[in-house]
């Protein structure tokens, strides 16, 4: 029996306002709050509200047999509370069904796992507090920013008490293995590893509206048939994707909502298939073996590595300079300063600095608010220069 495991990442970054060299020392206003508000309102109307309503409808229609998993970033939560409180209420209503799992992650959607274990732990603890406070959840499963993962992260997360971690089912780490099984991370004794089935996930997240795709238009019964072909070849099909796929990346007129409205029924008409949350899947299916991932992987771009954020010297310089501030921020112990620094850690800022070409470059260009990667770098470094000046001034005081 292959179980279907839908996981949705819900994220909005805190966007930076245009900040010139002449603003350094003159303005500590870094965030473009009006742009954040406009984007949140737009995506709330196109994605969050209609999709949450649809998922609630499907849970009720299928009497709790339709189950799925969310991870909400702290930056998304901040904007949801500030600009779209009705979206928060709709997520809370879903949480109340008992059919939805919420994962933990770094609160700032950061790359802290690559630079500071202490900072990573603090951000995860902050996110865990939000999940408890807003949804009454005590997450047992973890996802790192952009599914960034390696063996030593699994060991760290296991030591923090989590029973499950998820990542990308990258071909180069699997070799002959299938992403449709639960694995035990190398060197760990209790935590389970669930993998994204990236081809099937990307059929929805990226190819759904592509009129040049041989499977267009993709219908629910066709896709359900593809999933049913996995019977006898795996236990869990991890369909991991951005939640903004629904209505924002794939617009309503593509038929994406109708597709999702029909899909659970097409799957559940087969008594050998069901839906599970991430933790339910790892609890039901024992690890089929140990999987070693010695080098960092992610779910981004064709390489599935760190090059989306650390692929050029601008990105490396920006990240190095940012994390060098940690000792100053920690010493000041000022909540507002810490919040500002953590918002600057959001991975999107460095994603915008990517100089990749071809199809990966097109994806980066789709998300960036900047005219070029160099503009993104200059704007960020101007803000960071001002932030560092203010840290030094506060330290002298």
Instruction: State the catalytic residues.
Output: 146
Locate the DSSP E strands across the chain: 3-10, 68-72, 100-102, 141-143, 164-168, 184-185, 192-196, 236-242, 274-275, 290-291
Structure tokens at 255: 């038929």
CA 93 – CA 86 distance, rounded (Å): 11
- Contact by Cβ (8 Å): 51, 147: no
3 state SS of 250:
strand
CA 396 – CA 389 distance, rounded (Å): 11
- Contact by Cβ (8 Å): 346, 13: yes
CA 48 – CA 94 distance, rounded (Å): 12
CA 272 – CA 144 distance, rounded (Å): 31
- Contact by Cβ (8 Å): 194, 238: yes
Diameter of the chain measured on Cα atoms: 68
3 state SS of 317:
helix
Q: At what angle do helices 373-396 and 313-323 cross, to 10 degrees?
A: 20
DSSP per residue, 155-198 = HHHHHTT-SEEEEE--HHHHTT--TTS-BEETT-SS-EEEEE-H
Structure tokens at 36: 């954040």
CA 74 – CA 145 distance, rounded (Å): 11
Peptide bond into 87 cis (omega under 30): no
* 352, 325, 111, 13: CA torsion to nearest 10: -50
Tracing tokens 């560092």 back to the chain, one arrives at 388
Nearest to 141 by CA among 156, 119, 161, 122: 161
């Amino acid at each position: 029996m292959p179980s279907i495991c839908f996981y949705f990442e819900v994220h909005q970054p805190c966007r930076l306002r245009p900040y010139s060299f002449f603003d350094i020392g003159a303005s500590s206003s870094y965030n473009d709050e009006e742009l954040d508000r406009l984007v949140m309102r737009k995506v709330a109307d196109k994605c969050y509200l209609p999709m949450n309503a649809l998922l609630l409808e499907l849970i009720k229609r299928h009497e709790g047999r339709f189950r799925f998993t969310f991870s909400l970033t702290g930056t998304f939560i901040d904007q949801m509370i500030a600009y779209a409180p009705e979206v928060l209420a709709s997520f809370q209503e879903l949480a109340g069904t008992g059919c939805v799992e919420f994962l933990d992650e770094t609160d700032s959607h950061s790359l802290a796992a690559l630079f500071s274990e202490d900072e990573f732990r603090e951000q995860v603890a902050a996110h865990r507090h939000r999940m408890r406070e807003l949804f009454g959840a005590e997450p047992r499963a973890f996802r790192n920013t952009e599914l960034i993962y390696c063996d030593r992260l699994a060991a760290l997360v296991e030591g923090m008490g989590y029973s499950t971690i998820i990542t990308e089912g990258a071909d180069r780490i699997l070799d002959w293995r299938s992403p449709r099984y639960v694995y035990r991370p190398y060197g760990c004794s209790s935590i389970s590893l669930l993998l994204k089935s990236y081809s099937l996930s990307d059929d929805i997240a990226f190819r759904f509206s592509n009129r040049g795709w041989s499977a267009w238009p993709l219908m629910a019964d066709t896709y359900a048939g593809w999933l049913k072909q996995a019977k006898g070849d795996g236990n869990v099909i991890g369909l991991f994707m951005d939640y903004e796929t629904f209505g924002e990346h794939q617009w309503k007129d593509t038929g994406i909502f109708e597709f999702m409205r029909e899909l659970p029924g097409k799957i559940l008409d087969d008594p050998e298939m069901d839906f599970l949350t991430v933790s339910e899947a790892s609890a039901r299916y024992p690890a089929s073996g140990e999987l070693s991932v010695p080098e960092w992987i992610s779910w981004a771009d064709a390489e599935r590595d760190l090059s989306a954020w650390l692929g050029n010297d601008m990105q490396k310089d920006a990240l190095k300079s940012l994390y060098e501030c940690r000792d100053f921020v920690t010493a000041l112990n000022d909540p507002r300063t810490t919040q500002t620094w953590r918002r600057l850690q959001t991975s999107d800022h460095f994603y915008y600095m990517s100089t990749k070409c071809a199809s990966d470059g097109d994806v980066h260009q789709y998300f960036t608010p900047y005219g070029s990667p160099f503009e993104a770098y200059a704007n960020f470094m101007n803000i960071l220069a001002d932030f560092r000046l203010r840290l030094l001034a506060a330290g002298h005081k």
